[in-house]
C-alpha cells in the first residue's frame, strides 16, 4: 500500500478542507490521476495518486479538515488490477463495458462541474453535455438540477400525505466553504484595521465605447481575444497609480511600503466564490496583454484550475460589479493593499455638455481607501486622472 498525503498547498497554508473524493475504494487509478479535491483559502487543489493501482481505504470524510502532510488514503500498487480485463475479455467484456464509461466521464469532469454535481446530486451520466466535444459544463448540471423538481412533481402530486408538510417552513444549514470563511474573515479584518473611506466620481464612457466598437473585430482577429473595458481601466489605473504612488502603497507596521510596479488584482467570479488573481507587472503590458491575462483568469476560475501563486500579492484591486448590474457600491479593501477601485454598470443618463442637456453612457466609479495612508486629495486626484484617461483614451497612448 502507498500513502496518499496532502501536498504542500502554498506559503503559510497549513490545512485544507476535503471537498470531494473523486475515486471510491476499489476503483482502479492511474499514476498522477486525481483522486480527491481539497478546498484551501483561495482555490481548489486536486490530490493525485502517487502510483497506479487500486483505491484503498479513505481516512477522512468530505468536509473534514486535513493538514499538510496528513495521510488521507492508501492506494494498493496492483498493476494486475488493470491487467485482468484483457484475459477474461471474451466473457467479461459485456459486464465491464458500462462501468468504465461513467468512471471515465467522472474523471474527465472539471473541478467546477464536479462541485456542481456534488452539490446538486445530479447523475452526470444522465446529462447531455453542451461543451466542446460534448463535455459537461456547470450550466448543464445546474439546468438538470432545476429540471428535477419538475419531473418529480407529477409523481409527488398523487401522494396526499406530504401535503400538510409542504405548508410548513423549512430551513437548510450548509457548512461554509473554506473560501467563504476566509473571505469573511479577511473582509472583517479590513474593516477593523483600516480607516476606510470611499470617494465617488462618474465617467463618460462615450469615447471608450466608440473605440471598442470601431476596433473590436480587428483586435480579436489580431490578438485572439475580445476587446473589453477592463483593458482600458487597468491601463488607466496603472498611469494614475504612477502619479499617485500612495494609492499603490501599503502599511507594514509603522512603515509605508511603496511599489515601483503595479500588480493589479482583478476580482473574478468562480463557482466557489469570488477569487482575486493578480496581473503581474501590469505597467509593462499592452491592452492586448491585459485582456489576454484577464480572459485566461476568467476561464480557469470557472474550471477551478487557478494556481495559488496567481492569487498572492497584488498592490491594487479592481472589482467590476457592473457585470452583475450594480449601480453603485463601496468596495472593501483587500489587505494589505490600501485601495480598491469599484466599477459599475454603464447606463444612459442626462448630463450637461456645452450648456446642453444630452444623454451619455455613464458609469459610477468608487475608490475605497485606507485613510491612514491616503489623503482625500490624493484619492480624488487619482479618480480624476482615471476619469480623464477613460474619457479621452488617446491619453493612454501618449502617456498623459
Per the residue annotation, which of 3, 139, 375, 392 is the catalytic one?
375
β-partners of residue 203 are 363
- Counted residue by residue, the chain has a size of 400
Q: Is 314 left (phi over 0), alpha (psi -120 to 50) or beta?
A: left
- Cβ atoms < 10 Å from Cβ of 106: 17
Q: What angle do CA 6, 10, 15 make, to 5 degrees?
A: 45
Contact 349, 189 (CB under 8 A): no
What sign does the CA torsion over 266, 199, 349, 204 have?
negative
Annotated catalytic residue 371 = yes
Contact 277, 318 (CB under 8 A): no
Cell numbers standing for residue 382: 487619482
**CA atoms of 126 and 132, how far apart (whole Å):** 17
Annotated catalytic residue 64 = no
Nearest by Cα to 6 from 73, 102, 70 = 70
**CA atoms of 34 and 49, how far apart (whole Å):** 6
β-partners of residue 358 are 351
Per the residue annotation, which of 139, 284, 309, 371 is the catalytic one?
371
> What residues are labeled active site?
371, 375
Amino acid at each position: 500500500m502507498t500513502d496518499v498525503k496532502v501536498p504542500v498547498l502554498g506559503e503559510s497554508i497549513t490545512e485544507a478542507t476535503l471537498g470531494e473524493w473523486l475515486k471510491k475504494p476499489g476503483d482502479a487509478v492511474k499514476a498522477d490521476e486525481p483522486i480527491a479535491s481539497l478546498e484551501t483559502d483561495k482555490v481548489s487543489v486536486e490530490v493525485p495518486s502517487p502510483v497506479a493501482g487500486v483505491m484503498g481505504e479513505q481516512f477522512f470524510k468530505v468536509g473534514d479538515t486535513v493538514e499538510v502532510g496528513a495521510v488521507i488514503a492508501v492506494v494498493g500498487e496492483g498493476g494486475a488490477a488493470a491487467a485482468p480485463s484483457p484475459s477474461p475479455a471474451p466473457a467479461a467484456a459485456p459486464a465491464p463495458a458500462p462501468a468504465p464509461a461513467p468512471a471515465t466521464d467522472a474523471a474527465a469532469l472539471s473541478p467546477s462541474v464536479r462541485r456542481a454535481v456534488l452539490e446538486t446530486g445530479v447523475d452526470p451520466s444522465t446529462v447531455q453535455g453542451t461543451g466542446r466535444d460534448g463535455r459537461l459544463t456547470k450550466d448543464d448540471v445546474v439546468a438538470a438540477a432545476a429540471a428535477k423538481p419538475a419531473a418529480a412533481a407529477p409523481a409527488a402530486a398523487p401522494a396526499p400525505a406530504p401535503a400538510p408538510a409542504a405548508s410548513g417552513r423549512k430551513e437548510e444549514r450548509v457548512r461554509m466553504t473554506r473560501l467563504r470563511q476566509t473571505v469573511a474573515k479577511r473582509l472583517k479584518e479590513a474593516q477593523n484595521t483600516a480607516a476606510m473611506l470611499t470617494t465617488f466620481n462618474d465617467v463618460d464612457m462615450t469615447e471608450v465605447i466608440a473605440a471598442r466598437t470601431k476596433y473590436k473585430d480587428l483586435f480579436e482577429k489580431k490578438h485572439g481575444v475580445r476587446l473589453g473595458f477592463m483593458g482600458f481601466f487597468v491601463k488607466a489605473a496603472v498611469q494614475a497609480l504612477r502619479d499617485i504612488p500612495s494609492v499603490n502603497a501599503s502599511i507594514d507596521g509603522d512603515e509605508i511600503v511603496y511599489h515601483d510596479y503595479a500588480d493589479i488584482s482583478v476580482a473574478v467570479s468562480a463557482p466557489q466564490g469570488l477569487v482575486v488573481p493578480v496581473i503581474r507587472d501590469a505597467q509593462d503590458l499592452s491592452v492586448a496583454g491585459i485582456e489576454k491575462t484577464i480572459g485566461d483568469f476568467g476561464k480557469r476560475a470557472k474550471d477551478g484550475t487557478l494556481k495559488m501563486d496567481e492569487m498572492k500579492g497584488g498592490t491594487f484591486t479592481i472589482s467590476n460589479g457592473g457585470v452583475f448590474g450594480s449601480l453603485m457600491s463601496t468596495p472593501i479593501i483587500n489587505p494589505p493593499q490600501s485601495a480598491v477601485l469599484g466599477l459599475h454598470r454603464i447606463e444612459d443618463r442626462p448630463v450637461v455638455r456645452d450648456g446642453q442637456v444630452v444623454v451619455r453612457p455613464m458609469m459610477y466609479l468608487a475608490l475605497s481607501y485606507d485613510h491612514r495612508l491616503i489623503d482625500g486629495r490624493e484619492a480624488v486626484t487619482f479618480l480624476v486622472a482615471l476619469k480623464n484617461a477613460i474619457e479621452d483614451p488617446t491619453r493612454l497612448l501618449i502617456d498623459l
